[in-house]
Amino acid sequence: MAKKVQKRYLVPEDYMADPAVHVFDGKLYIYPSHDYYSGIPEDDWGIHFDMKDYHTFSIDGDPMTGEVTDHGVTLDLKDIPWASKQLWDTDVCEKDGKYYLYFPAKDKTGIFRIGVAISDKPSGPFVPQPDPIRGSYSIDPSMLKDDDGSVYMYFGGLWGGQLQRYENNEAVNDIRFRQAGEPALPSRVVKMTDDMLQFAEDPKPVVIVDENGTPLDAEDPHRFFEASWMHKYNGKYYFSYSTGDKHELCYAVGDNPYGPFTYQGVILTPVIGWTTHHAIVEYNGKWYLFHHDCVPSKGYTPLRSLKVCELTYTEDGKIETIEGYDGELEA
Ligand code: FUB
């Protein structure tokens, strides 16, 4: 049974989506995608998500009440030499006092690659590298800095995110979606090089298994679609993700950054709007879920709004399911 909880819109004056959130220097920083009205008709490939820049936000104190600061445009499509369009979900990781912003964009041939941009401050601005990461593909990079200092990227997204174009990290000509009876197409995880600019190894599949250790089926409603996020709780690795066309945020738990991860349940039931996307972060001893919905745009999927609410665990480490549908509360 999903809980109804108090939620807060963080940037009511603009449309922001796909939050990545971290605590840097004791303060919460949010790295969202920046939606705007492009007028491009919606399709299954997400071409209506035609974003052209990123902003960074920070919150003073408690995310439910603290003042939100907009640090302005921190990376602009026109300044990225290799990219042509669609700045989708981003994330930031700190190492040795530098901040690395990872972002997907289509290159000049229409293929999604993942790039890096660097700043001395968590608020940016971020200066892009001239080329995307070698061997990168698909969308939705999400970063984990583990306790031993190793940094991992989780990435991938189906349909418009182009993950179905790749087998064993190679683009294939014969693109097909997996069918019932086949394992679901997995997200990917890869360790980063010490300089944070390249993959240190070949990306590996993030396998989600059921309680019997069997990988989730391609037609399982809880299979991975996009929007990877990783957080640690009581020493375990919590891999969370969107089920895309099933519109839920779900999670699976493992013992190490590579998995396998055992499916646990639903974090957030469907919101108003097609996509659902999130970050989970601890701040001052409480846990928070940042996500987006389309209530302010009256259900118009390309214009999404950032929200935050508290997230709770049961004593046995399960996340308590939150009700995503807030239409009647805020219409
Ligand atoms: O914002 C564009 C795409 O929509 C993201 O990359 C996906 O995760 C979905 O939220």
Which residue owns the Cα nearest ligand 1 atom 8? 227
- CA distance linking residue 245 with residue 254, whole number of Å: 25
Whether the predicted pLDDT of 94 surpasses 80: yes
Point out which residues pair with 152 in neighbouring strands. Answer: 144, 191
CA 40–ligand 1 middle distance (angstroms): 16
pLDDT band at 326 (very low <50, low <70, confident <90, very high): confident
The CA distance from 186 to 188, in Å, is 6
Q: How many residues does the chain have?
A: 331
Report the candidate in 240, 328, 224, 330 with the shortest Cα–Cα distance to residue 281: 240
Q: 274 CA to middle of ligand 1, Å? A: 10
pLDDT score at 174: 85
Best of 16, 40, 277, 294 for a ligand 1 pocket test (most atoms within 8 Å of beta carbon)? 277
Known active-site residue 226 = yes
CA of 139, closest atom in ligand 1: 6
Spatial distance between the Cα atoms of 170 and 121, rounded to a whole number of angstroms: 35
Nearest ligand 1 atom to alpha carbon 227: 8
Residue 77, SS3 per DSSP: helix
Closest Cα to atom 9 of ligand 1: 275
Report the percent of the chain where pLDDT is more than 90. Answer: 96
Distances 219 to 159, 187, 240, 242 between C-alpha atoms, Å = 15, 15, 18, 14
Residue 247 pLDDT class (50, 70, 90 cuts)? very high
Position 327 scores a pLDDT of: 78
- Candidate list 91, 226, 293, 326, residue with the active-site label: 226
Q: What is the per-residue pLDDT for 176?
A: 82
189-244: per-residue pLDDT in tens?
999 999 999 999 999 999 999 999 999 999 999 999 999 999 999 999 999 999 99
Please say whether the beta carbons of 142 and 192 come within 8 A: no
What was the pLDDT predicted at 328?
Answer: 61
Q: Which residues pair with 115 in a beta bridge?
A: 103
Can you tell me the mean pLDDT for 267-282? 98
Ligand 1 centroid to Cα of residue 160, in Å, is 9
Percent of the chain with pLDDT over 70: 99
130 Cα to the center of ligand 1, angstroms: 24
* Ligand 1 centroid from CA 168, angstroms: 23
Q: Whose CA is nearest to atom 4 of ligand 1?
A: 275
Q: What is the pLDDT of residue 331?
A: 43
Q: List, for residues 24-49, the tens digit of each pLDDT value.
A: 999 999 999 999 999 999 999 999 99
Ligand 1, CB within 6 Å, residue ranges = 17-18, 33, 46, 49, 88-89, 139-140, 157, 226-227, 275, 277
Give the model confidence (pLDDT) of 51-66 as tens digits: 999 999 999 999 999 9
Q: Best substitution site from 139, 159, 162, 274 to test ligand 1's pocket, by max atoms within 8 Å of Cβ? A: 139
pLDDT band at 263 (very low <50, low <70, confident <90, very high): very high
For residues 301 and 245, the answer to whether their CB atoms sit within 8 Å is no
Average pLDDT value over all residues in the chain:
97
